[in-house]
Structure 1
């Protein structure tokens, strides 16, 4: 079970954060709501889940949040609303755990239930803090880079597929006392790091997700199975390289992911893009193989969204890179081609699988 550390049980920040709303009870949101409920409900923090999916909410009402995966199997009793009504009290934190295509709508719907000094917390991959800030205001938006994986095999069943924690902060890098309070609360889900260069952390994660999530959607398999393919690794490096170049053009100082994965190093140099093989390329491919082995069970949430008939988040990942690259004069042909292929898969014009990966690579001269 998730248990609060002694220092957290008596921490003053918790006294000021009594109500948390988790919007979106898919894999990430469901596990977050369950861990927060399990850890903090007895200590005076009220945690409320919110899902527009009646089947998910009913499953949670009947059986609790059923957890499985890396943390073991258990059920956590909790509440999950399907509607925010006027009698619902406002919240100190509103965690937005929906997919990127739904984040702006979710922020608008929940905004009236945010306390004046509260904050919305963006869990999405991409650069969604900028979008939510236009709705709630810059000072009412915090971000959390999620460095762990989860899925929802069926309504109300939440599988943690990879361990990890969070990096939290503000896109403008400003200090904010609410970050300490948020960190205390989220520690029960995973280790929390406060970042004074959150924009750099967010862009580094964007580089990873634009490659991993998108190619996971195109390849239609878990990360471990995909990363053993040389073709997949070549595409991963190409997508990451373009994203890093756009970030540099935007003046972003990239952060290491989980303190170890250095996107500035992993991005291909001009020489590496010209040669067939080199010691540095071997090192980069070896690192990707290690990433694939460590997160072998991770499955693209974008692929799951397509399977459920929902729009893919590719426009918030590769599309963000393409759009910003265009504005900054940085070519992004690999991201653009990958974005287009995901849309063909979403329209059921092409099936996910290695044949689609090979088609993409061949069109770009990467196979």
Structure 2
């Protein structure tokens, strides 16, 4: 089958899902989209999604629905682009829409693929890591804020001809890399998000200011140490992140020079992306739940499986849950919690 003949459904019309759907439609693919907001679904169908930014200017009218129940016919590919907090419910709803040889493509932040496999089966899943930036300015107006790539792969087997075809489809949006170590790539991104996204949600600072503070950098390093410990127990070989950050080399060495090297590396990240605002922080500011259970929470859950201690990641999870519950405020003072006292010097 030619890739243009594939029937594609996108679940979630946020920044990533919406831009992906719009660019696929512009290139002639048979694509539909589901938004849980009826007025937004109507807008997409009647006026289209307007995309600007790094991908140029695009306006695409796409058949859109307010619920999966309105979708007709089974699909070859379902691009699952909801927030992790909506992931299980959405996965349950699309099971009946998948063709016998179809696949669901998981596009969530964090490691959701294990939970999704419980609903859909691991053999029906393709993982997809989004390596480009996007934001929703308002319903129907989306911006690709930075270029990058997709990394796709099966959870636990090598790429095949069908995955190559999926890569051809998604290359309409950005370049695509196929991998036989998808979990290693996904875990690498989880570590970064567990540091940058989660710590930003706790303190409310932009990345540049946050990483200029030595105590935060020490916490950042410890999150990585604990995450690598759990990866080893899970037999996950962590890939180099962004072709630059090798976590094993980053943690190597226990002397002053090695520690200085780690701090300088983090400071460079902070300077380069100094205006970055945590996506979890933005969720909290909108009164929404974060994806913490699929970031640092994934590390904690697996630490409990192996009876290992990951006190910093556990503290991060607890603090963010308390912010979600209204028991704490977003504040740098959250780093004064006694669990972080050992990072004061």
What is the TM-score with the length of structure 1 in the denominator?
A: 0.86
Partner of 1:124: 108
1:307–1:90 distance in 2 versus 1, CA, 3 Å:
farther
Q: CA RMSD in A?
A: 2.3
Partner of 2:155: 171
Q: 1:22 aligns with which of 10, 14, 18?
A: 10
Partner of 1:363: 340
Taking the aligned partners of 1:130 and 1:219, their CA distance within structure 2 comes to 30
Displacement of 1:297: 4.5
Task: Give the 3-state SS of the residue equivalent to 2:323 in structure 1.
Answer: helix
Task: Give the 3-state SS of the residue equivalent to 1:290 in structure 2.
Answer: helix
Taking the aligned partners of 2:126 and 2:322, their CA distance within structure 1 comes to 34
State yes or no: 1:322 paired with 2:306.
no
Deviates more, 1:134-143 or 1:71-80: 71-80
Count of residues in Structure 1 that have an aligned counterpart in Structure 2: 344
Task: Give the 3-state SS of the residue equivalent to 2:237 in structure 1.
Answer: coil
Task: Within 5 Å, give how 1:59-208 maps onto structure 2.
Answer: 59-85=43-69, 88-208=72-192
Residue by residue over 1:144-182, the C-alpha shift from the partner in whole angstroms, topping out at 9 and shown as x without a partner, is 111222222322222333321111111113333321111
Task: Give the 3-state SS of the residue equivalent to 1:185 in structure 2.
Answer: helix
Q: 1:285 aligns with which of 246, 263, 272?
A: 263
Partner of 1:332: 310
Displacement of 1:143: 0.2
Taking the aligned partners of 2:20 and 2:288, their CA distance within structure 1 comes to 22
For structure 1, list consecutive stretches of 5 or more residues without a partner in the other structure. Answer: 1-11, 273-277
Taking the aligned partners of 2:146 and 2:122, their CA distance within structure 1 comes to 31
1:70–1:297 distance in 2 versus 1, CA, 3 Å:
farther
For structure 2, list consecutive stretches of 5 or more residues without a partner in the other structure. Answer: none
1:364–1:248 distance in 2 versus 1, CA, 3 Å:
farther
Q: Contact 1:334–1:364 (CA<8 Å) still a contact in 2?
A: no
State yes or no: 1:313 paired with 2:301.
no
Deviates more, 1:93-102 or 1:281-290: 281-290
State yes or no: 1:343 paired with 2:327.
no
Taking the aligned partners of 1:233 and 1:253, their CA distance within structure 2 comes to 24
Displacement of 1:77: 2.8
Taking the aligned partners of 2:55 and 2:208, their CA distance within structure 1 comes to 20
Residue by residue over 1:215-268, the C-alpha shift from the partner in whole angstroms, topping out at 9 and shown as x without a partner, is 121132443443333333222211111111110122111111222221222236
Q: Contact 2:22–2:58 (CA<8 Å) still a contact in 1?
A: no
Task: Within 5 Å, give how 1:208-223 maps onto structure 2.
Answer: 208-223=192-207
Q: Contact 2:40–2:140 (CA<8 Å) still a contact in 1?
A: yes
Q: 1:35 aligns with which of 11, 18, 23?
A: 23
Displacement of 1:355: 3.1
What is the TM-score with the length of structure 2 in the denominator?
A: 0.91
Residue by residue over 1:60-81, the C-alpha shift from the partner in whole angstroms, topping out at 9 and shown as x without a partner, is 3454222234445543333321
Q: Contact 1:94–1:120 (CA<8 Å) still a contact in 2?
A: yes
Displacement of 1:332: 0.6
Residue by residue over 1:89-138, the C-alpha shift from the partner in whole angstroms, topping out at 9 and shown as x without a partner, is 21111111111121111111011111110100111122211111111112
Taking the aligned partners of 1:179 and 1:340, their CA distance within structure 2 comes to 38
Taking the aligned partners of 2:78 and 2:307, their CA distance within structure 1 comes to 36
Task: Give the 3-state SS of the residue equivalent to 2:151 in structure 1.
Answer: strand
Deviates more, 1:54-63 or 1:194-203: 54-63
Partner of 2:30: 46
1:298–1:144 distance in 2 versus 1, CA, 3 Å:
farther
Taking the aligned partners of 1:361 and 1:180, their CA distance within structure 2 comes to 50
